[in-house]
């Protein structure tokens, strides 16, 4: 019973941590769309067309404005001064959020940016079981900081400090490993085919 309660608690907390960024993003985009719609409505009133592909012109213009704003923000983010501001925000605020660095590096890996090196995937030996993990850092004393994520929500988990004989490096991408975790192990046969474990 205690294990079941711990499992339920971990799963609910994991689900919350998974949903929070999505909810925040949805709220931000919704508010941005409301504000932008109010701004572009006077311009839309000057256009003789009232709808485009079934959507009201102000809504279409608002979506175009948001995409354009994101594009311009992306260009600005490449500027030297903007990068300094972002680095400062990450160092002082965002890095204090639990799991932010891991989410950022995994997100970069998933979209192909791979900043700061790839996340090396391993099978970590925890007691009598093998679990998918990611090498986060190599310590000076020869230990490795290995993050072992929970399933199905890989954004929470545990950090273990291990010697190299306690894990096996895998030749799979972090994207494949995360997919296997989210699917609660489905696809592991194909994923680990040819691995000498």
Give mean pLDDT, residues 168-177: 88
Residue 104 lies in a domain: no
Give mean pLDDT, residues 101-108: 61
Q: 146 and 80, same structural domain?
A: no
Q: 127 and 66, same structural domain?
A: no
| pLDDT band for position 113 (cuts 50, 70, 90) | very low
Q: 130 and 57, same structural domain?
A: no
Residue 58 lies in a domain: yes
Residue 157 has pLDDT above 80, yes or no: yes
Cα angle 29, 75, 42; round to 5: 50
Q: Which domain holds residue 154?
A: 120-191
Residue 106 lies in a domain: no
Give mean pLDDT, residues 70-91: 75
Q: 73 and 129, same structural domain?
A: no
Verdict on whether the full-model pTM lies above 0.85 = no
Residue 116 pLDDT: 47
Residue 25 lies in a domain: yes
Question: What would the two tokens of residue 86 be?
Answer: 């972002």
CATH number, domain containing residue 131: 2.30.30.140
């Amino acid at each position: 019973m205690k294990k079941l309660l711990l499992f339920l608690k971990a799963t609910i907390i994991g689900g919350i941590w998974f949903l929070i960024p999505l909810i925040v993003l949805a709220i931000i985009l919704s508010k941005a769309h409301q504000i932008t719609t109010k701004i572009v409505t006077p311009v839309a009133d000057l256009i003789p067309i009232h709808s485009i592909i079934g959507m009201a012109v102000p809504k279409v213009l608002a979506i175009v404005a948001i995409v354009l704003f994101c594009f311009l923000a992306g260009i600005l983010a490449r500027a030297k001064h903007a990068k300094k501001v972002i680095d400062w925000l990450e160092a002082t605020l965002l890095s204090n959020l639990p799991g932010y660095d891991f989410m950022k590096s995994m997100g970069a890996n998933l979209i192909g940016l791979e900043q700061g090196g790839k996340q090396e995937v391993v099978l970590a030996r925890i007691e009598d079981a093998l679990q998918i993990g990611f090498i986060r850092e190599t310590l000076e004393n020869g230990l490795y900081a290995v993050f072992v994520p929970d399933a199905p929500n890989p954004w929470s988990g545990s950090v273990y400090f291990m010697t190299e004989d306690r894990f096996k490096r895998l030749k799979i991408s972090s994207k494949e490993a995360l997919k296997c975790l989210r699917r609660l192990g489905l696809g592991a046969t194909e994923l680990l085919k040819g691995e000498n474990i």
